Amino acid sequence: MANGERRGPAHVTLARTLGVAIVTGDHPSGTVLPGELELASQFGVSRSVIRESLRMLSAKGLVESRPKAGTRVRERALWNLLDPELLAWMFEGAPSLGFVRSLFQLRMIVEPAAAELAAVQRSAAQLARMGDAVQVMARQGLRTQEGQAADQRFHAAILESTGNELLASLSSSIAAAVRWTTFFKYRVPLEYRDPIPLHRDLFEAIAAGDAAAARGVTERLIAQAGLDTERALGA
């Protein structure tokens, strides 16, 4: 690419560029984007790179190509919105308030149920991993690199404990998106409540095998994060 030097293969950065342009509404649904030749000269790459990028976008349901008709942006309802990369692209632009609310609403549906399952099904080893992670979080706090890594380990252990790989895949996609919202949060000088005590409560509920308590704590955790995020976005 003549402009925009980024790492990695060109088709990856190109797919990202085009994908962001689409999800941010630059190319509305139903419109056809420029032909492959034009895109190639526009971005200063070969047609091969353009085509491979478009394949990636079509694999995510963003576009569909047909001879003579060109490559058309599919309607938003057909996009694979839960694709982690697609979610990341959404947060490249300014995500709408409605979108963020949908995200937290989905969390509120899925994660309490996952916590319930984890409380009942977790193995001793999985529980131990959660315990370690909570300890590290308590020591390091959530602002440090290590603390955030421990937070991810904690939630990953919960997901694995559900024994449901579809649920795990869904939640990890959501988690990736939520990380972007927390990024926004930290950019804002607002104070928000410390989530670590709730994490400890969740760990104890899972350790006790108390499904109802695990659900309740998770709901409070998400509600708190949702409120804080909403305030940060409103500011």
Q: Which of 17, 24, 29, 58 binds a copy of itself (CB under 8 A)?
A: 58
Count of residues interacting with DNA (CB under 7 A): 22
70, interface contact from a copy of itself, DNA, none, CB < 5-8 Å by kind: DNA
| Contact region with DNA (CB under 7 A), list: 38-46, 140-148, 174-182, 210-218 | 38-46
Nearer to a copy of itself by Cβ, of 53 and 232: the residue is 53
Sketch the per residue contact string, 60 through 99, with DNA: x for CB under 7 A, - otherwise.
Answer: -----xxxxxxx----------------------------
Report yes or no: 141 and 147 within 8 Å, Cβ to Cβ. yes
180, 179, 106, 185: which is closest to 149 by C-alpha? Answer: 179
Task: State the Cα–Cα distance between residues 2 and 49, nearest whole angstrom.
Answer: 13
Name the percent of the chain in helix, strand, coil, to the closest 5: 70, 5, 25
Q: Which of 28, 44, 141, 197 binds DNA (CB under 7 A)?
A: 44
Q: Is 5 in the site for DNA (CB under 7 A)?
A: no
Task: State the Cα–Cα distance between residues 133 and 100, nearest whole angstrom.
Answer: 27
Query: Counting Cβ atoms within 10 Å, is residue 178 exposed (0-12), middle (13-18) or buried (19+)?
Result: buried
| Contact region with DNA (CB under 7 A), list: 50-58, 88-96, 150-158, 179-187 | 50-58
